[in-house]
A and B are shown apart, each in its own frame.
Chain A
């Protein structure tokens, strides 16, 4: 088990590093961050000043090494550029410094710090809805296989998977927020309870596709498991049906669901870009879009880094969860 985790962690770091490297250089292929940040009305002098301040006038490889923290700091606005003792400090990700956002006059850690809890709230609510709705529907469908309720649920999941959030989102807003007034019309609210209230509708919309997927997977798995010998044995022993399903069938059927949840972790962190946009939810998704549009390199890099790490951890957790749930699987 330990060996497996160490091995995976090694590959994980390698993957994250390659992604970070790739994106760093892509930003400079896409355009000039200084020029894009300052916009179409920038004076040549402003651009030169900005480049000098952020170290963008240095060769790109040097910028990269400094960003990693393997070469001294080149950002003049960093307190580490010239330390009190006169030496050049380091200000890269290895030192835990994500830098200063180009467009927000603020450190990247702060910019993300404001947004991350909001995205986590929305995404965890969404996952909760996905699981509750999806698993319940899947179990009902499996147990009532080929009856009308099964057909209805499978039909509904088919629609749920097919409808994108940019269709369901505005319709839900129009109906439940604007015309019926049950939910607030987008936004984030002002106090904790209010945040949850504001998150309900977007989380529900966000959960539709996931819930539908979970329902279909759960149905298939449960039907499959119900045919297994151990379930048949349990039934033959005269165990009540509810006990058979709960104790023997569902636990086995949950395996692929655990994997799916693990794989959805990056989505938890990365934010649902489209849903956030529709519901004016000021989370990481909105920030990501805005940062890419304005080539706010430090923020893009931080998001990529976080995303990469989240994918790796999610995959690892999924594998561990499967091993823990399924005694047949050994991680070596």
Chain B
């Protein structure tokens, strides 16, 4: 008890050794920091220098999460759609300007019966990957599979205007009356009412044909989900293998009807986060990158070395604050307009440089009839905002705060910007942060959310896909309403209905232009921004162009191989002042 434990005694030698160890660690750390190798400033590899397109090579690209299925009838998420897009072809497709073009169809369909009947002639020499020629029966059989309730595809609503489709879906009919196979190479569709967006629906991956014999054999052997594991389509690439959650591998389909693809193999990596993907890309391990991480995106924007190998394009989507037109104070159009005028959208552009573009209307810039003159209605203009508040009868602002529903940190940052703006016109905002699940459930019910962050990404490139679904009174339901601002306008409904049926493209666009103006003016949504996508590719990747409809359109790429490693010194000299 008397003895002092040895450890508590002050021992200079020991502390000296600890001091030396710490000092050594600091020196080592300093050495590591100063001798840290530099990240490559420009591309690590360049092409071999071929001028004409070359055949061969493997294209490697990645995405941040999982591909869920390779069955086009179930592919309803971005990645599954992108993978199916390489494996399958449909009757119709879009060119790089967003115009509809024939694909498996020999030409665009003949339209009759005031826009209610469509007749397609199939191309010659179109084959499935199993080598069998595609006939009109395949198109019909695939649509029947898609639309049966037993299949349970989320694609059904896009095709319900076909005569007899709802009855068939409910199981009350053996087949869909409105789909008729005329002969091996001709198929005809009859709709209940004139609807030009039916052609857009036919161009969606949902309508891509599958070979009946393959599907039936597989489903009998392995169950209903088997097609998603062993896809056989008619696209430029055929299926090699799929290591689940890791990568999908494809190889070129040699009997493709169009000029066959140049790249020999495709490797689509899954679950690669933006940070990892960006580093791999700069390292030369990925050939194409879409949406690099924020830091890398800023770097690529500034880098001269990368300038020829990147593109920034708006994506076909719009973000907004949805204002509930049934609940005060937003049942008053002047208050809605005041909000639309009070928001300084340039702040969003400054907060996310290069990632967003200020929005003034529901249609994104690449979709006709986008109107560049329209921004006079939904732009930042404090005087007009205050004037609208006066017209609304609230010259001194609202007495009660507004509740704005947001879905997470990203939304909160944006919302805080606008809190300040709206305070200027006397509107206080309370943020209500909820989980995505709660958000979806609650904002779909009438008279619940006063205002909510919201947005839309196009299913197919047609104005109706934005306006009909978001603002037509038909889209209001007691639960799961698609029209989440609960906006009702008989005039808009009438315009949208006639536009859907209108066969003449010019007249259609004129009608949608009118609807577009009404929406900007009535402001059921205060439009905020369009998202901007960044693509970058290695110098040896040729023939890539961002596509206005398909997100990862890598069908036409060719690789200038063998690639050559570049000395990084070149870029350092370039970067020096």
Which of chain B's residues 139-180 have a Cβ closer than 8 Å to chain A? 149-150, 152, 154, 156-157, 160
Closest residue of chain A to B242, judged by CB?
A114
* Contact yes or no, A44 B71, CB < 8 A: no
A49 touches B17 (CB 8 A): no
> Closest residue to A145 on the B side, CB-wise?
B7
Interface assignment of A71: CB less than 8 Å from any CB of chain B = no
Which of chain A's residues has its CB closest to B479's CB? A44
CB contact under 8 A between A49 and B154, given known A30-B437, A104-B69, A105-B228: yes
Report if A136 contacts B (CB, 8 A).
no
Distance between Cα atoms of A128 and B461 in the complex (Å)? 54
Q: Does B438 contact A (CB under 8 A)?
A: yes
A152 cross-chain contacts in B, Cβ below 8 A: 21
Pair A77/B152 contact, Cβ less than 8 Å: yes
| Cβ contact within 8 Å between A42 and B480 | yes
Of all chain A residues, the one with the shortest Cβ separation from B38 is A179
Interface centre among B66, B149, B440, by most A CB within 10 Å?
A: B440
Select B225's contact among A107, A170, A174, A179, beta carbons within 8 Å. Answer: A107
Contact present for B280 and A185 (CB under 8 Å): yes
The distance in angstroms between the C-alpha atoms of A46 and B477, with both chains bound, is 13
Measured CA separation A36–B6 after assembly (Å): 65
Of B246, B272, B457, most buried by chain A (CB within 10 Å of CB) is B246
Nearest opposing residue in chain A for B273, CB measure: A280
A85 contacts B by Cβ under 8 Å: no
B455 touches which of A40, A100, A115 (Cβ 8 Å): A40
Closest to B267 in A: A190
Q: Is the CB of B437 within 8 A of A186?
A: no
Separation in Å of the A197 CB from the closest CB of chain B?
14
Within 8 A of B (CB), among A184-235: 185-188, 190
Q: A151-B14, A187-B272 are in contact. List 5 more A-B contacts (CB 8 A).
A: A31-B438, A32-B440, A77-B224, A280-B273, A290-B65
Residue A287 interfacial (CB < 8 Å): yes
Q: Tell me, in angstroms, the Cα distance from A38 to B456 when the chains sit together.
A: 14
Q: Is B223 an interface residue (CB 8 A)?
A: yes
Within 8 A of B (CB), among A47-92: 47, 49-50, 52-53, 76-77, 79
Q: Is B37 an interface residue (CB 8 A)?
A: yes
Q: Is A293 interfacial (CB-CB < 8 Å)? A: yes
Residues of B within 8 A of A (CB): 6-7, 14, 17-18, 21, 36-37, 39, 65-66, 68-69, 71, 74, 76-77, 149-150, 152, 154, 156-157, 160, 223-225, 228-229, 243-247, 269-273, 275-276, 279-280, 283, 285, 435-438, 440-441, 444, 454-457, 459, 469, 477, 479-482
Partner of B440, one of A36, A45, A190: A36
Which of A35, A53, A103, A111 has a CB less than 8 Å from the CB of B437? A35
Which residue on chain A has the smallest CB distance to residue B246?
Answer: A188
* Interface 0/1 of A249-283, CB less than 8 Å to B: 00000000000000000000000000001111010
Task: Point out the residue from A30, A118, A188, A286 that lies within 8 Å of B438, measured CB to CB.
Answer: A30
**Could you say which of A39, A52, A280 contacts B276, with CB atoms under 8 Å apart?**
A280
How distant is the Cα of A31 from the Cα of B157 in the complex, in angstroms?
23
Determine if A4 is an interface residue (Cβ-Cβ < 8 Å): no
Q: Digit string of A114-137 for contact with B (CB within 8 Å is 1, else 0)?
A: 110010000000000000000000
Cβ–Cβ < 8 Å partners of A287 in chain B: 245
Check: A246 CB closer than 8 A to any chain B CB.
no
A–B Cβ pairs within 8 angstroms, 11 of them = A43-B482, A44-B481, A45-B156, A103-B77, A104-B68, A105-B228, A107-B223, A177-B279, A180-B37, A186-B272, A280-B272
Q: How far is the CB of A24 from chain B (nearest CB, A)?
A: 15
Q: Which residue from B68, B437, B457 sits with its C-beta under 8 Å from A32? A: B437
4 closest residue pairs by CB, A with B: A31-B437, A282-B245, A105-B69, A114-B244
Chain A residues contacting B36 (CB-CB under 8 Å) are: 175, 179
User: B480 and A278: CB pair below 8 A?
Assistant: no
B residues within 8 A CB of A43?
157, 469, 482
- Cross-chain contact A185 with B245 (CB below 8 angstroms): no
**Contact A173–B279 (Cβ < 8 Å):** yes
State the CA gap A170–B278 with chains docked (Å). 13
Instruction: Give the CA-CA distance A49 to B153 in the complex, in Å.
Output: 9
Closest to B269 in A: A187
Please report the C-alpha to C-alpha distance between residue A188 and residue B245 in the assembled complex, in whole angstroms.
Answer: 9
CA distance A188 to B270 in the complex (A): 10
Instruction: State whether A106 touches B285 (Cβ < 8 A).
Output: no
